[in-house]
Amino acid sequence: MIPNAGLRTCLPLVNPILKYQKFRPHRQYRPNTSIANKSYGNGQLQKNRWLNFRAIITRWVPLGSVIYVGWCYIRASVNYDVTKVELKCYEKLPFRVTSRIWGKLAAFELPTSIRCFVYRTYIRFFNVNLGEAAITDLTYYKSLSAFFTRALKDGARCIDSGSCVSPCDGIVLNCGPADTDRIEQVKGVTYSLEELLGKNTWSKSVNDNYYNSLLKNKKNILHQCTIYLAPGDYHRFHSPCDWVASFRRHFYGKLLSVNPLLAKLIPGLFAMNERAVYVGEWQHGFFSLTAVGATNVGSIEIYNDPTLHTNKIGRKRIEELELSNIKYKKGDLFGQFNMGSTIILLFEAPKDFKFDFCSGDRVMMGQSLLTRSSR
């Protein structure tokens, strides 16, 4: 027998043990399969990690994007033609939907407290020259869209005395004579002149040859200049010369990227994308300015054409409008892009017309397109 005093002394230690064993309900032992399967040597677990929905979003999509971009860079460095299957798959991507979403995000008014951080990040990433902006206070711009389309301060650009100047800042993808009905998109890649502009309904001249139907003076030829606006460039574009716009044609089109790397791979890229074509006359005859939309650049705004609405749901494939002979002076504001895109100039001029730069050169708005001898 244990003395009562000794029993009372042991109770503090014995009671928890007896209580745990006596009153805790019995549970049948079941192996924890989830823990067992977490063994790093289990091949089934490794397989499941790459096949579930979360893995598709967090692993396969980023990995596939990196591989695809790398493959595009490799293909751009060699003479490679995109297959029809690749082109069809690329066209099926929902660029129009993502562009609308991006447009809404870019137009969203940002809190004043984070504007400086957001815009400075954008400035560093895209190498933006903020010193040229009319307003350098970053808190002034309510949204990214407002910052993209910022105005330049007076004197930031000088309009050259030549008859035709660059309408925007950007990189020249191609320039030179267009003496056939095929225009060179980039070196070795062409597209149809008629596909870009559409049927010639603005000219009174009747000619079975599309190229000749555009010329007012048969001694002249057509010249073209294509300028790509990067995301960090000044996004407004101006009139390149003194001319009169009499007709506008809006092509619904696609919103594929117009990055120079893709322009080398996809023939007819500019003739496929959404674009606004403005046609008229200048001192030598036919003149046209085409603003081409692109991925995340579905919005093209023309200041003297408020009826133009781009990247909208349910729009017609082609819209035409007779303009009341709008007169533009060299350097006048013409329109703006939300993010970067492309401007294509196609105009009639004498055969000895010479450009002052070549493909790959960077130009600034107001810089002369002509050499001294061609002015």
The pLDDT value recorded for residue 31 is 53
Give the pLDDT band (50/70/90) at residue 119. Answer: very high
The pLDDT value recorded for residue 48 is 62
Q: Which among 299, 341, 356, 368 is annotated as catalytic? A: 341
Give the pLDDT band (50/70/90) at residue 353. Answer: confident
Does the pLDDT at position 157 exceed 70?
Answer: yes
Q: Which among 99, 145, 160, 169 is annotated as catalytic? A: 169
Give the pLDDT band (50/70/90) at residue 47. Answer: low
Give the pLDDT band (50/70/90) at residue 152. Answer: very high
Question: Which amino acid does the sequence have at 133?
Answer: A
Give the pLDDT band (50/70/90) at residue 15. Answer: low
Q: Which among 223, 238, 250, 284 is annotated as catalytic? A: 238
pLDDT in tens, 256-309: 777 777 777 777 788 888 899 999 999 999 999 999 988 765 578 899 998 888
Does the pLDDT at position 158 exceed 70?
Answer: yes
The pLDDT value recorded for residue 20 is 47
163 is catalytic: no
The pLDDT value recorded for residue 365 is 94
The pLDDT value recorded for residue 39 is 47
Contact partners, residue 132, CB within 8 Å, separation at least 6: 152, 153, 156, 234
The pLDDT value recorded for residue 144 is 87
Mean pLDDT of the 117-122 span: 92
Best mean pLDDT range from 65-74, 81-90, 352-361: 352-361
341 is catalytic: yes
Best mean pLDDT range from 69-78, 253-262, 357-366: 357-366
